[in-house]
Structure 1
Amino acid sequence: MTATRRTAGRQDRRMLIDGEWVAGTGDWIEVRDPYSGDCWARVPEATPEQVDAAVAAAGRALREGPWPALTPTARAGVLRRFAEVVAREADELTTLQVRENGKAIREQAAQTRGLAAHLAFFAGVAEDICGRTIPMGAEDLAYTVREPVGVVAALTPWNSPLSLLVWKLAPALAAGNTMVIKPSEISPVSTLRFVELAAEAGVPPGVLNVVTGAAGAGAVLAGHPDVDRIAFTGSTAAGQAVARAAADSLARYSLELGGKSANLVFADARLDAAIEGVVGGIFAAAGQSCVAGSRVLVESSVYDEFVERLVARTGRIRLGDPMDWETEVGTISCRRQYDNVLARIEAGRREGATLLAGGGPTGDAGDGLFVAPTIFGDVENDMRIVQEEIFGPVVCVQRFETEEQAVALANSTPFGLAAGVWTDDVRRAHRLARRLRAGTVWVNTYRRTSHLTPFGGRGLSGVGRENGRDAVDEYTEVKTVWLGLGAGLGDPFNPFAGQESTR
């Protein structure tokens, strides 16, 4: 069954600045369907002056507007209404994203349905952002309060445009911040529609602003002196550039970057489940996922059987029209990434890895930007296809002899985003969960996320955490309030009097 593909003429969209839809003053950026190749929308290329205007609008909304002054319960009410509106329009938001990035609708629809739950969860958190009272003795009282960090710049990617926006937007709004959003130029239309729904739900003008454009607009926003915090998801190289841009103003930032995550399959694992987990972990979304399990480490005693069954299962994956509910894997999201994935596969061949499945474009699914699910064996750990993120449907399979060797191989990259462990030994599962250098370790499952669970990486996979109650801490500043309750100041030249240790 194929969902209805919008066939109306090309849409020319505008940016949102201070509650007004603003036309560009320069070039247009084409938004193309990676399955059909059609240009179905255009968005403006924001000028530096328009980025300035968006940041200024967010600053005014922060200082003068009603949003930060609302009670936590009132902000929670807006977020709950936003959740209801997003749930109502989930089908349209799904379709827009599939047209932008080519992700299979069966996955994109589930992601989109989860947005409402995410917003509703942080509506509850908005009412529970608390400081603490610190005991200072009879003469003094100290307590802390959590305040909005300020103007937040959210730079979002193309692979999951709305999910990865909401991971930033929901805790930021819950804490009373205002935002300027810069979506990827590949997938901007769904974000523009999403903020329309925010206004309908009662988010005041200026609280959410959207500027569209390519890397130049993002660089201006990341380096803007009036941005207080940056929330970025994207490649490691781009994240490093964001960190450098933030250095001059010392803006706080969180970076959710790339990965080279490993699935560790032990001989005692249920191989059927492990194979399904590995296939979904790397080939779902055509491998365009930061947590893609692009390395598979298999215990030697089951290596041959596992590889044979993995290759057979990969051959049964259904590629096709992303709008078809029977499709399991859609297209690569844009021509640039398509060419990059094919170049990485060719590099793997040149390095001497054995190609076990796939290996290039496939015409079986249509004329879109399809790359066949690809498996390499006989890889060496220093090969580029083992060490560098490909962000496509390409996996490397390695064997190991001992648990120690498996951990060493898994930790042998500069990334630290995720890992999977497949075993029926509960003690081993807990041992490895502690030893693997990753922000998330899945055991006997893979690529699962929730608004309840913190998510983020280590090393070149980034800094900071999104999701869960911890995420709000990223969007607040802690202020200490100290009250002197005594009759006098004591010794004005010794503010530390009374704090000496008795030891």
Structure 2
Amino acid sequence: MKYVHTKLFIGGFWVTPVSTEVNTVVGAATEEPIGQTPVAGPEDIDVAVAAARRGFVSWSQTAAADRADILDRFAAALISRADVIGPLVSSENGMPISLSVPANVYAPAATLSYYAGLVRKLEFEEDRPSLAKGVTKVRREPVGVVGAIVPWNYPLMLAMMKIAPALAAGCTVVLKPALETALDANELAAAAEEAGLPPGVLNIVPGSVAASQALVAHPGVDKIAFTGSTPVGRSIGEICGRLLKPVTLELGGKSAAIVLDDADLATTAAGLASASLANNGQTCYASTRILAPAHRYAETLEAVTSMVASLKVGDPLDPATRIGPVVTARQRESIERYIRSGRASGARLTTGGGRPADLNRGWYVEPTVFGDVLNSMPIAQEEIFGPVLSVIAYKDVEEAIALANDSEYGLAGSVWSADVDRANSVARWLQTGSVGINGYSLDIASPFGGYKASGLGRELGPEGLSAYLHLKSVYQPRQASQ
């Protein structure tokens, strides 16, 4: 195995864990071990939280400009590791290398730089005239110690969507990465160390469910930020609600792509390759429900089917690969159950539906399209988290909007049209936290999050920074006249 780690990054040092459990990371394309890490237990969470609390004392008092300088160095240290991080994440979770380097190196680095720039300009204290003709000082103060729990699909970007604004605000962080992608978390720790983050500012503890539970309920943690499934998010939200602990939850999605009747289908199908199938379909915002006008349904289904069938499936380290393996055998089994469900429900398989015949190793699933799908079918209502698309017919725009909103989720979506103004008018009616017009791409400077069962709160943009700041009003009465 190439990557063997025996220690955890806590308090600015690599320390021997209390837990003796070991995690073996298995390559998604090879089914062979590629590395090992310790598995943090509840006792290790205690050590990490204590280090973060100690670090908070000085970090919260560090000038914002000085914190920003360290974030910029952190960004540079990540970029210097691009040749290691990109292939490593691809090996861990099957993400095509053409996406892995931008998503796990340059986007996280850009996020650090964005919040460094934002915090340099932020007024942490301002005076406001009060109705009593005095002055109120409004202060922005860091929340404290943040527990960040992230999944395996975009491991470093999803971590940085929490780390960057938290550190910029003056908080310290205990990061609990997923065990499936625990190896790249060590590269993140090495970059933090190189950048000179003070001890305790960032602590990284890959662990099991027990570690996550300990972190969420820990009395020394002031806020939780979580990205993952809706069922787990509900559980975390219940705990935080009972403890009155602030929480940000970025959860599941079952996003719809509304193809309007004036859309150019060749262009739309090409755009859906990334909007619907990025990272092998293992993307929370993916537009996996394709809503097509009834009078153009056959040609839309044909265009989507042709596009999906043309995607190169193979080694995630090959720059030409568009669809790699999914992250684990368990994930593949879950996707295959949904494919069987689609067939049993009466949907029509137009491409894919099996395992690639020429790939006898790796957790591959052929990119799959179902036609004649009803919006009530499980494949149209439940998050599959794999390369499976459902094409659904609608009569008119009003029905398209109703179908798109007929979901417990509301994370994202897209509208495809030759008329951008018309597409925008449709987007306004969608019950979802973000909408792409003729494409879909996150904007670091804009808020991201969901409606309904897709979560609570927002990440990215200035709103993402506000989530890590408390507001304090100091009322100063009018001075008595002399």
1:31 aligned onto 2:49: no
One-letter identity of the residue aligned with 1:23: T
1:75 aligned onto 2:62: no
**Structure 1 CA distance, aligned partners of 2:239 and 2:16?**
27
**Any idea what the Cα deviations from partners look like across 1:23-60, whole Å, max 9, x if unmatched?**
33332111110101111111222221111111111111
The aligned counterpart of 1:408 is 402
Q: Give the number of equivalent residue pairs.
A: 478
**Structure 1 CA distance, aligned partners of 2:133 and 2:238?**
45
The aligned counterpart of 1:165 is 159
The aligned counterpart of 2:116 is 123
Match of 1:54 among 44, 48, 54: 48
Partner SS state of residue 450, structure 1: coil
1:193 aligned onto 2:179: no
The aligned counterpart of 1:461 is 454
1:94 aligned onto 2:94: no
The aligned counterpart of 2:101 is 109
Q: Shift in Å at residue 355 of structure 1?
A: 1.1
**Structure 1 CA distance, aligned partners of 2:133 and 2:258?**
58
> Where do residues 232-271 of structure 1 align in structure 2 (5 Å cutoff)?
232-271=226-265
One-letter identity of the residue aligned with 1:49: E
> Where do residues 386-397 of structure 1 align in structure 2 (5 Å cutoff)?
386-397=380-391
Partner SS state of residue 435, structure 1: coil
Partner SS state of residue 74, structure 2: helix
**Kept in 2: contact 1:319–1:365 (CA 8 A):** no
**Structure 2 CA distance, aligned partners of 1:38 and 1:362?**
19
Identical-residue share of aligned pairs (%): 39
**Structure 2 CA distance, aligned partners of 1:295 and 1:233?**
22
- Listed as ranges, the gaps of 5+ residues in structure 1 are 1-7, 489-503
Q: Shift in Å at residue 138 of structure 1?
A: 7.0
The aligned counterpart of 1:422 is 416
**Kept in 2: contact 1:43–1:213 (CA 8 A):** no
Q: Shift in Å at residue 284 of structure 1?
A: 2.3
Partner SS state of residue 187, structure 1: helix
**Structure 1 CA distance, aligned partners of 2:477 and 2:3?**
66
**Structure 2 CA distance, aligned partners of 1:338 and 1:434?**
36
The aligned counterpart of 1:289 is 283
The aligned counterpart of 1:495 is none
Match of 1:477 among 431, 451, 470: 470
**Structure 2 CA distance, aligned partners of 1:293 and 1:425?**
20
Q: Shift in Å at residue 21 of structure 1?
A: 1.7
Q: Shift in Å at residue 385 of structure 1?
A: 0.8
Q: Shift in Å at residue 189 of structure 1?
A: 1.2
Q: Shift in Å at residue 118 of structure 1?
A: 1.4
Shift >3 Å, 4+ stretches: none
**Any idea what the Cα deviations from partners look like across 1:282-322, whole Å, max 9, x if unmatched?**
22211000011110000112111111122122111101111
**Kept in 2: contact 1:145–1:480 (CA 8 A):** yes
**Kept in 2: contact 1:319–1:327 (CA 8 A):** yes
1:343 aligned onto 2:333: no
- Listed as ranges, the gaps of 5+ residues in structure 2 are none
1:14 aligned onto 2:7: yes
Q: Shift in Å at residue 382 of structure 1?
A: 1.5
Match of 1:133 among 127, 151, 155: 127
**Kept in 2: contact 1:320–1:366 (CA 8 A):** no
Partner SS state of residue 255, structure 1: strand
1:275 aligned onto 2:261: no
The aligned counterpart of 1:5 is none
**Any idea what the Cα deviations from partners look like across 1:266-295, whole Å, max 9, x if unmatched?**
121111111112222222211000011110
**Structure 1 CA distance, aligned partners of 2:443 and 2:457?**
16
**Kept in 2: contact 1:18–1:209 (CA 8 A):** yes
The aligned counterpart of 1:326 is 320
Match of 2:479 among 482, 486, 490: 486
**Any idea what the Cα deviations from partners look like across 1:229-250, whole Å, max 9, x if unmatched?**
1111111111111112222321
Partner SS state of residue 59, structure 2: coil
**Kept in 2: contact 1:199–1:205 (CA 8 A):** no
1:352 aligned onto 2:346: yes
Q: Shift in Å at residue 164 of structure 1?
A: 0.6
The aligned counterpart of 1:373 is 367
Q: Larger C-alpha radius of gyration, 1 or 2?
A: 1
One-letter identity of the residue aligned with 1:14: K
The aligned counterpart of 2:203 is 209
One-letter identity of the residue aligned with 1:425: D
**Kept in 1: contact 2:158–2:227 (CA 8 A):** yes
**Kept in 2: contact 1:34–1:100 (CA 8 A):** yes
**Structure 1 CA distance, aligned partners of 2:2 and 2:307?**
40
User: Which of the pair is proportionally richer in helix?
Assistant: 2
